Structure 1
């Protein structure tokens, strides 16, 4: 094994010495050859790297262990069947400063998930405690904010819709906690999806080396502009094999703007059901390529119906940018935000037709409770109605032994108040927990009774 490694290193050294044979091993590299400057990314990176930060988190992880049935035999049926433990954990990741004046930093939601403490290390080594402004689990984006006297550098966002396969790409992040690291490659593919079907995916694929710890870091172009946020790798052994994925900068920009304005993502919806376009399906509907989004059904009273879209249409562009798949259409629409107006082109009866659509608000009325407050981890919350009117927030799912369960919540409980303020829906609860008091008293309706549960 050792001989094999030495052979690889020798081969690399041989390649380098062949390229620069006139230069001795101890000589300094020239700044120019034949009066031509040697290409280097260094000047651009000197301006960009201060905008990429390292993120360290601390939190508590819940583990459950089923106890032998003999315990209940000896101690009674009321003795717990599971042992629940909270174990501290630490995690590392990366982030990108997008607003130097306000201290906004974008990272991945999975980087800061369940964190009780978030520390940001700046390029110059200074460490600052960060505040979580909001996050979106479905798109894996989180927005942090820091307040520091240090002068910050923000990165400029590129228009990711203009990317082409073959464009150069540079990844900057904190792999394996080593510190800031730069790798380079190209854009290998666009519009990638299917890594997790429950999430909103429209990834840039790159062969720039991305490893554990790079999550939340920057993928930039040769102009030093952000084209994506690095988020995942495809590798059986969790190492780099030249297949990395990044969330496009346009999606990042739209999501961050919504989190800044509302504290959460107000997802938009078109109101269609569809599928990926195959070559056979495209031929059946008189379309010459299999790139596009096929519309199976248009929902009544939806934004799509109001705009004139019909079942059988093939959507080919959004705001002038090509649509490669139904997954890409879904991701773009979901991250644009409710109320946004966009222009579509769709193929109908062999002809392209334009449509103008104003997106409706998504009717996704449920949320994982830890997105609102860490002490509610393990519960799923859903808007509920009574006599046709909003009537609080229902605990629709509850993980046994979770922090929410140990706080006293039960499945079926309805949160109707918080610290003497009435709560009728998730938006009100989310707003009340944006700046939570030290002690939170949840007013709960349980069957025909009303009680208070205190969480911290």
Structure 2
């Protein structure tokens, strides 16, 4: 459930922040707020960036890589590129109303029951600021999910100062991307065209465009510092372009473009011990952003799956397998009937590449699969008993078995107010969980509610009630309702087994 990027400071009480403490630029009393801290030590500040229009990848992404031959070439400017691209980069304002408890005493559920009272809360308005990119001329805008997450009112300010209310078409926390729509009354708006982010090379010049710290639209220049940067969560699609172009809080959702004006990525995060730019910024590749934009037609992004899990091949594993060097992903599990299983992948094989792109960890494998559509075929190079060979894998949607069954629990039980769902490979993929996880997962917790007061969180897996296993949503309801005032609850949270006993 972790999210690597800067978040709005208005997160509801009890929200899960497993690996980092996130913050997005907040406006309160006219002041601009702060950034986010990365769990491993440095601070990872989100600087959201959008993706662009659904166009086929271009064959090249950067201008010819010649060095200047004379002073006239040294004096060349990027102004024509900026003039063409900047009007398509917008500001995104998100307004969120949150409730804050006035007196912690009222949180006690026994007090509430005895006096038949609801906890008193004070409403507070928070605003966040990010950037966005117009990717379709009819008003389709790409930004970061953490810029608009939880926002009740979202306003987009164009480069010419006009403002429009925006509707969220897609909000995808797995990629930290969101697609917005504004009504331009038939006007054709300027756009940034998608480039092919796979054509980027380390050393290519790039421009970052956004609104850092709310000072106004700003353009900075740098190079591609590294490719294929990933975070520590092997179950997600986080696969970044690293750049030293200056990126700061408020750039989230802005454009990273090449010198020919094509969208290379969406500015999303920075690593910084202070909150300001130190030359380590990250952008979501345009090829992944394109897939999220395509999901706007249906309101959801449906990524295919390969149906296998694994771990990076370390030096120790490489020595044990008598490999020349550490490379690829060692397959640990293959889901029965999955695309990987149908293609003949088995435990112990090593995945070396997908469509010619090297695979070094599960993040890179997930990313390569996510840039395709269900039904596409990919060429996977594997190492099987010391011999390399290619296999063709036809991608498909993950199965929904058991079927999706979502319900908000009611009554006077400790879990009242929790929205729960049956776990299946499809749901596990949505939640970035182990594909083999079974049971019932909490998708959301209403505020205020008994579930919130007892500390239940999204992502918790309910394992047992009063010693009886929870197999599906129906079983959970029956066990809770039949407990007769005594509940012994067992849940899994982030791989840890936790217990809660409630009498009442």
Match of 2:389 among 338, 341, 353: 353
Pairing 1:370-409 to 2, within 5 Å after superposition? 379-383=418-422, 396=442, 399=445, 401-402=447-448
Q: In the alignment, which residue of structure 2 is the partner of 1:192?
A: 229
Does the 8 A contact of 2:130 with 2:253 survive in 1?
yes
In 1, the alpha carbon distance for the partners of 2:107 and 2:281 equals 49
The alignment's TM-score, normalised by the length of structure 2, stands at 0.64
Are residue 343 (structure 1) and residue 372 (structure 2) matched?
no
Q: In the alignment, which residue of structure 2 is the partner of 1:252?
A: 289
In 2, the alpha carbon distance for the partners of 1:288 and 1:173 equals 45
CA offsets 1:280-312 (integer angstroms, 9 cap, x no match): 323433433333222122222111010111222
Q: In the alignment, which residue of structure 2 is the partner of 1:109?
A: 145
In 1, the alpha carbon distance for the partners of 2:367 and 2:100 equals 34
Q: In the alignment, which residue of structure 2 is the partner of 1:298?
A: 334
Does the 8 A contact of 2:234 with 2:362 survive in 1?
no
3-state SS in 1 of match to 2:152:
strand
CA offsets 1:402-429 (integer angstroms, 9 cap, x no match): 48989xxx99xxxxxxxxxxxxxxxxxx
CA shift, 1:319, in A, is: 2.3
Are residue 209 (structure 1) and residue 246 (structure 2) matched?
yes
Does the 8 A contact of 2:445 with 2:451 survive in 1?
yes
Structure of higher RCO (CA pairs closer than 8 Å, 6+ residues apart): 2
Match of 1:91 among 128, 134, 156: 128
CA shift, 1:71, in A, is: 9.1
Does the 8 A contact of 2:213 with 2:249 survive in 1?
yes
Give the number of the structure whose residues are more often strand, by fraction.
1
In 2, the alpha carbon distance for the partners of 1:271 and 1:72 equals 43
Q: In the alignment, which residue of structure 2 is the partner of 1:278?
A: 314
Are residue 63 (structure 1) and residue 100 (structure 2) matched?
yes
What are the ranges of 5 or more consecutive residues in structure 1 without an aligned counterpart?
Answer: 1-31, 370-377, 386-393, 412-445, 449-456
Larger radius of gyration: 1
Aligned length: 364
Does the 8 A contact of 1:59 with 1:116 survive in 2?
yes
Does the 8 A contact of 2:307 with 2:338 survive in 1?
yes
CA offsets 1:78-126 (integer angstroms, 9 cap, x no match): 45585433311111101111111x3211111000011111111111221
Q: In the alignment, which residue of structure 2 is the partner of 1:180?
A: 217
In 2, the alpha carbon distance for the partners of 1:328 and 1:400 equals 35
In 2, the alpha carbon distance for the partners of 1:368 and 1:178 equals 44
3-state SS in 2 of match to 1:186:
strand
Q: Which moves more between the two structures, 159-168 or 81-90?
A: 81-90
Are the structure 2 counterparts of residues 147 and 274 from structure 1 closer, same or farther at C-alpha, using a change threshold of 3 Å? same
Match of 2:305 among 264, 269, 273: 269
Are the structure 2 counterparts of residues 61 and 340 from structure 1 closer, same or farther at C-alpha, using a change threshold of 3 Å? farther
CA shift, 1:216, in A, is: 0.5
Are residue 242 (structure 1) and residue 288 (structure 2) matched?
no
In 2, the alpha carbon distance for the partners of 1:144 and 1:232 equals 20
In 2, the alpha carbon distance for the partners of 1:230 and 1:110 equals 12
CA offsets 1:388-446 (integer angstroms, 9 cap, x no match): xxxxxx9946536348989xxx99xxxxxxxxxxxxxxxxxxxxxxxxxxxxxxxxxx9
Root mean square deviation, CA, Å: 3.6
In 1, the alpha carbon distance for the partners of 2:287 and 2:381 equals 20
Does the 8 A contact of 2:306 with 2:396 survive in 1?
yes
Q: In the alignment, which residue of structure 2 is the partner of 1:333?
A: 369
What are the ranges of 5 or more consecutive residues in structure 2 without an aligned counterpart?
Answer: 1-68, 409-416, 425-439, 458-479, 483-504
